[in-house]
Structure 1
């Protein structure tokens, strides 16, 4: 094992040995090459006042060398702002700005310790990095039965984990009993990664405040009986809340710094929060009981995450990071974000009205509870959802997603309000044709 990895592991163990136990074999081996090319180049950038011949970029007249044909597409940007490499963990200004946004959105985090966010190449990359850090083959990952299919691809097919599921809904409510029963299975001394995603994809459901506290209490109880719990909170759709009685802060806020055997990991992204899907900017943030702000443990986890980034994609787009940073620092950012969330809320309300005003739909499909996010999900009562999806697409020109044989996901985020009633009328028409 590299000496730098050994040193990082020692720093983690000195603060909280349970976190070292949570790491995968790769997580223990990985390190950021702080004494290699990158660190020497960073040192040269600060001190090489005469000539800097350290890093593999091309310079011209004091700025990044650039083609006019490239810069023509980037008005308002200088070559050095748009084209150079970024640090592997992300530019410091963006990391700090995203942390401040999270504290604004989740004020209870101000009393909790945590790492600085590490910039990732979108939310999917954040999840991939978490899998690399914590998952060995045959480790257990606990998921709700309503989940994003990329979880299976990432944690089971790529990392080799065993997936276990708890029932998300029972009788039209979040089934916290199923969640507690699933958490009772791991033995003391074992490791469990629990992935929770709110607003949920595909259902579009966020727990109420009391339901969220039930989930947090169950995770804390699991840690208290000696299980090393990695609570990975996928906040991809955070902020799109459409009802008054639902949890407004991330579930991460209820877990951060609460127990030495519970490592809370927040995966979030500019993707949906800033409406910049193709810029591919996400973040990973860590918090565990027993570690203070600026703890060597957090610095070590940040360094290991940066090492994974360095060893795969090297760094995330500087231009994308700078665009996200400009948005976060803009004077009207929160007002702009609220306006878009309000627009999305009108679409969710239009979905509810379309369903409520047509009780005849219930013979063929009903909606699972939804109150947030981009999606809602229909439970298909007659026929198969894949047959329904294909008929909708091929005959009616309507695109939907078949999740299981009985579940059809609708992305109302893509629809104008006036299109929504017609969409559900077409789904009803197609469902009747399949029955006939």
Structure 2
């Protein structure tokens, strides 16, 4: 595949960043001591989850709208298709510019993102079950109503806007050696890669996708874009993009060093880890870079200076609790066991005392008796418990087995480094 040189110079990227200063926040980039020690490297987070509208998307949307206004190409307003973050960025940027904003979102888009767009003044249309179907309607409405369609990633002005994130990363740490960036359509990764590589080509730039939605999986190896299954699911809905951009391919082929994938289990663990170590919320797509680092998908050394972009924090509040439980289970800290004991007085108390001896916290207890799989005179006790980790969990199971109890683990966890 021929690799074209992207028409974005460092001078243009810096000019774009300067034009965005009043509209976007120079987000924090803080070193994390605890996770640096865990990973045996120097790790800092770029907190785009604290950006206006909750993600990096406002950067590209603001720059694109400014360019439309400068050339008189805004028509009767702007329209975008998005699962949430791009829609919110467009809604806010258009509102600040005094433009009509229309967004088309899949019918299964998180309610919090839908309502956020409406509160920012956008007209919201729910259509289709995926981003591709929403995009088709948005482009049709754009032609019918003379609206400017704003691509979430496949546009040089959008990429230049996202590059302001990378320029901030380099300014805050010129010694960065590795940048880890979420990858959906490629707008953020392209912008960050350009901003960093045009200043120091030695910086490693790695994009991260989910295992189930990974059109870029083999791109750097052979230039191919992988077809994604129509029913592919991931908790990282912000990067559930099945069509790779044409312009972003040019940048990624030239400036990105590696692309890796991670499982939803690893993403869920990363949501919990970020919350515990930084006291901030990251959505699934936002924490995917941390997931890749934690699961060993990206090699690091103690000499590296790693900056991991937390690209968004617009997590659906109804999913927060479930995501946390999922992450705790995946990391071995939340466990469900079934234990079969004699249905006689005192046995349940003894069972609970055994759990208490290991300082395991019980969240829920359920009895099952009189079912075909439970022998007469016995009861099956389902225990939902909080442990300190896999080793603690295994100690409990071993103790039950030593007491002659029939134990089955109902919650399994993903081994580190596996998909």
Q: TM-score, normalised by structure 2?
A: 0.28
Instruction: Indicate the structure with greater helix content.
Output: 1
Higher relative contact order (CA 8 A, sep 6+): 1
